[in-house]
Amino acid sequence: MAGSGYRDYFKVLGVERSADADAVKRAFRKLARKYHPDVNPDNQEAEARFKEVSEAYEVLSDPEKRRRYEQFGQYWNQAGVPGGGSGPAGVDVDFGRYGNFDDFINDLLGRFGGGAGPGGFAGGGPGFGGGFPGGGFPRGGARSTLNLDAEATVKVGFSEAFRGGERTLSVNDERVQVRIPPGVKSGSKLRLKGKGNAQPGTGRRGDLYLIIDVQSHPIWRLEGDQLRADLPVAFDELALGGTVKVMTPDGEAEVSIPSGTAPGRSLRLKGKGWPGKSGRGDLLLTLDLQWPKQWSKEQRQLLEQLQSSRDDDLRQQWLKNASL
């Protein structure tokens, strides 16, 4: 912004002439948010005020410019500068080069030597196709460094998570090939280096972290590295025992049910579970007793024979001990 008259930059920012750098920075942040064109679309007065605020901050945030401004007033830009100058400081802003307001603020503070500072504005816009959420100051790092890393959630099918594979994703209008390792779990993070948010004017890009969300399966459940499922069994299979055919992630298999097995017991197939760093976990099949929806005449006759042939009283001891 090229101005022709004298501006009291301290009044523009609403600070005392004795205000230190932090006070100047805080005042600028507050006014920049208030008058930013994104907040005041098609408002030329607000845009002009915004540029005036930016001009004031450029001068007062630079120790040398501020010293000359306080000493020479409206002629500060000519004083002490070889060849002089044409007028007060200029701040020409091309808002189109910034993805969002936070990018602009951080770039502006960086150019004027202010850094992001406490409470800085950092981060991106919405997920894939634009900027990414999750920007901010890096943990444990210098607060003046903008964190350009980003996060996005990717849904992965149960089978795809078990076996692994490759995905092609669209990231900021760029096609990116992603390898999903076998045995990935919900909450796992995959890092795509250099695919995060971009810092305007510098070409710097952060990393993109994909957070895996494994979808549920109608049969299998994942507990740690163990795969669990309920295996439907009949009364006679539990009572008499036998070999039954089951399905595992590796295909069909046979398991033996010992005679007299109680419902709810689990059969373990070692090394048939979820892939992990130290190998495959186990597969656990919980025996789930299923009664016929409707008993046939023959089945009822067999049950009646079983009832009449039973010579033990299952509840005799229970009745004796249950009295209070």
All structural domains of the chain, each given as residue ranges with its CATH number in brackets, are 1-120 (1.10.287.110), 147-216 (2.60.260.20), 221-322 (2.60.260.20)
Nearest-10 crossing angle of helices 21-35, 44-60: 170
| Model confidence pTM above 0.75 | no
Average pLDDT, the chain: 77
Q: What is the pLDDT of residue 232?
A: 93
Q: What is the pLDDT of residue 286?
A: 95
- Is residue 5 very low, low, confident or very high in pLDDT (cuts 50, 70, 90)? low
Q: What is the pLDDT of residue 160?
A: 92
Q: Which long-range contacts (CB under 8 A, 24 or more apart) does 258-266 make?
A: 261/287, 262/238, 262/287, 263/233, 263/238, 263/287, 263/288, 263/289, 264/288, 266/228
Q: What is the pLDDT of residue 163?
A: 92
Q: Is the pLDDT of residue 38 over 90?
A: no
Q: What is the pLDDT of residue 102?
A: 54
Q: Which tens digit of pLDDT belongs to each residue from 206-253?
A: 888 999 999 999 999 998 889 999 999 998 899 899 999 998 888 889
What mean pLDDT do residues 273-293 have?
91
Q: Is the pLDDT of residue 312 over 60?
A: yes
Q: Is the pLDDT of residue 113 over 70?
A: no
CA–CA gap between residue 91 and residue 2 (Å, rounded): 7
Which of 53-62, 108-117, 188-197, 244-253 is least confident?
108-117
Does residue 181 contact residue 164 with C-beta atoms inside 8 Å?
A: yes
